[in-house]
Chains A and B, each alone.
Chain A
């Protein structure tokens, strides 16, 4: 197999898209975890 720029671009773009989407899931999950601990903290105080 020779290094083909189109082949490299297609494979790279595929993984960039998937990694970008997974990053959004991870960031939404950490934001939600912060929200849950804030809710728990308020619940303990009350």
Chain B
């Protein structure tokens, strides 16, 4: 397992470079928006990756609520944290694309607002985990994650159900896309998914190690309270 990480790291770096090349060079320039449309190759895969991570967080939270499995709790925490990072990318790259195309950085339209609310829910989840002490924290966080996950399909389908300024979905939206653009998009999604997997893996190992160290500290103070005070 230890040897697999650097190999996967190198493969992911190569895939990310190939995806960057596809997005910047191979994919054709969009007629109306020009090069600024290429932001889409980072914005959309980041959104899809964030949604998948939030769904894994939901599944792990449900498992934790049913079985009280500590590994499921770690998976939930890690996916929420990495998901928030990807969602942050979505919320920043979106306005950077909107400024030259719409002429404004932000509008309170349903897709944008619901994405911001989704981000705030998962940031609250991370704050709860970071600043709340006590045995009930993982349970409360899992309950919040289950409710937060309900927001994910709402964000995704908001452009189908509401009149919005946001572009229609790339797939299933009734429009068509150049095959080279679709290829660049899917390659970028694959690359960012592999990258997210590696980051989650590292973060999982870190969290597990942190819990082992905390346990060692607790044992130490139980066995020798004098030394832990010193």
Interface positions of A (Cβ within 8 A of B)? 1-2, 4, 6-7, 9-11, 13-14, 17-18, 21-22, 25, 28-29, 32, 35-36, 39, 42, 46
Contacts and interface: CB of A to CB of B under 8 A. Distances in A.
B227 interface: yes
A14 B213 contact: no
Contacts of B35: 1-2, 4, 7
Contacts of A29: 202, 206, 209
A10 B213 contact: no
Interface residues of B, number: 35
B224 A13 contact: no
Contacts of B64: none
Given A10-B39, A13-B92, A1 B24 contact: yes
Given A10-B97, A18-B85, A32 B213 contact: yes
Nearest to B203: A25
Q: What are the 3 closest A-B residue pairs judged by CB atoms, nearest first?
A: A4-B35, A10-B39, A10-B96
B96 A42 contact: no
Contact of A6 (B89, B97, B195, B217): B97
Given A1-B29, A4-B36, A32-B213, A10 B199 contact: no
Contacts of B42: 10-11, 14
Contacts of A4: 34-36, 38
A32 B209 CA distance: 8
A10 B85 CA distance: 15
A9 B58 CA distance: 32
A22 B218 CA distance: 28
Interface in B207-230: 209-210, 213, 216-217, 220, 224, 227
Given A6-B36, A13-B92, A17-B89, 10 more contacts: A1-B24, A4-B34, A4-B35, A7-B35, A9-B96, A11-B20, A21-B82, A22-B202, A29-B202, A46-B224
A6 B206 contact: no
Contact of B199 (A7, A14, A22): A22
Given A1-B29, A21-B85, A39 B220 contact: yes
Interface in B125-159: none
Interface string B91-102: 011001101100
Contacts of B202: 22, 25, 29
14 contacts: A1-B35, A2-B35, A4-B38, A6-B99, A7-B36, A10-B96, A14-B89, A14-B93, A17-B92, A18-B195, A25-B206, A32-B209, A32-B213, A36-B209
